[in-house]
Amino acid sequence: MDFVIVTGLSGSGKSKAVDALEDIGFYCVDNMPPTFIPKFYELCLDEELEKVAVVTDTRGGYLFHGIVDTLESLKNSEIDFKILFFECSEEVLHNRFKETRRRHPLIDDNEGSLRASILREKELLEPLRGSADYIIDTTHTSPAELKDRICGIFLGDSVKGMKIQCMSFGFKYGAPTEADMVFDVRCLPNPFYIDELRNKTGLDKPVYDYVMEMDSTKGFVTRLFDMVDYLVPLYANEGKSSLVIAIGCTGGKHRSVTVAEALKTHLKESNYKTSAVHRDIKRGRAK
């Protein structure tokens, strides 16, 4: 059984994640007290459910305080589960709560201060973030993009092993905090300055060919592949079940997309379960 514990900051997109998980066959339960999770796991086994996700977070109040002990108990019982953690920048979370007029679950404990509540929750959840198998930062992620991320992580997750996600992004929109490795390709020739390539992306063959045919790119990807080939087994030996390798250019539309796609192809040829996500490809023009 694929058993996923979904948690993270309030307002970071957990409810949208549940929608996406249900769409790919997960049985989902929201706002479950941590102490209920072990018994619920047993019930799911008895019912022979194949994919299950439970959401637990600070909405549970004092009941949530036992989450660390619960996770330790699950590990000691050799129960196979994954933790999916959601986070978001403080400013975006603040704006989301203001726009929706929803109450933050910690607002009463922080004298009505939304910012203090967000910071306190982040502090409380830090141990969970450190234990997470998957981390998704929704600061720059639309609902559709979030669904793509969820599908990339869990679709077909019954086959165990290292899962690698190659992510392209634009530095002008911020580096992805969930990345395990970040590589900067702003040193490579920029197709933005070629009129016929400016409004295309690295998924288009003319842009891909332009970037990959440059001697500087050939030298870069050769060294990138060698480094990744060396590092991935080390991460696997340390027990990592997933990796996010982020490739960044200025706008996340041309060079980073091209190199992320090339890296995905290289890793698939090495029989790693690999997907690509292009975080900022639909945003404004790169520079």
Share of the chain above pLDDT 70, in %: 97
The stretch 222-240 carries a mean pLDDT of: 88
Q: What does the mean pLDDT of the chain come to?
A: 91
Instruction: Quote the pLDDT of residue 157.
Output: 39
Instruction: Quote the pLDDT of residue 241.
Output: 72
Q: Say how far apart CA 212 and CA 255 lie, in whole Å.
A: 9
DSSP-derived secondary structure for 183-251:
EE-TTS--GGGSTTTTT--TTSHHHHHHHHTSHHHHHHHHHHHHHHHHHHHHHHHTT--EEEEEEEESS
Domains and CATH numbers, the chain: 2-154 (3.40.50.300), 163-278 (no CATH)
Could you report the per-residue pLDDT of 138-195, keeping only the tens digit for each? 998 888 788 878 887 887 433 335 789 999 999 999 999 889 999 999 999 999 999 9
Burial 145-176 (b: 16+ CB within 10 A, else e): bbbbbbbbbbeebeeeebbbbbbbbbbebeeb
Could you report the per-residue pLDDT of 39-80, keeping only the tens digit for each? 999 999 999 999 999 999 999 998 898 899 999 999 998 888
Could you report the per-residue pLDDT of 252-285, keeping only the tens digit for each? 999 999 999 999 999 999 888 899 999 999 987 5
The stretch 214-243 carries a mean pLDDT of: 90
What phi and psi, each to the nearest 5 degrees, are found at residue 221? -70, -30
The stretch 226-237 carries a mean pLDDT of: 89
Instruction: Quote the pLDDT of residue 287.
Output: 42
Tell me the whole-structure pTM to 2 decimals: 0.62
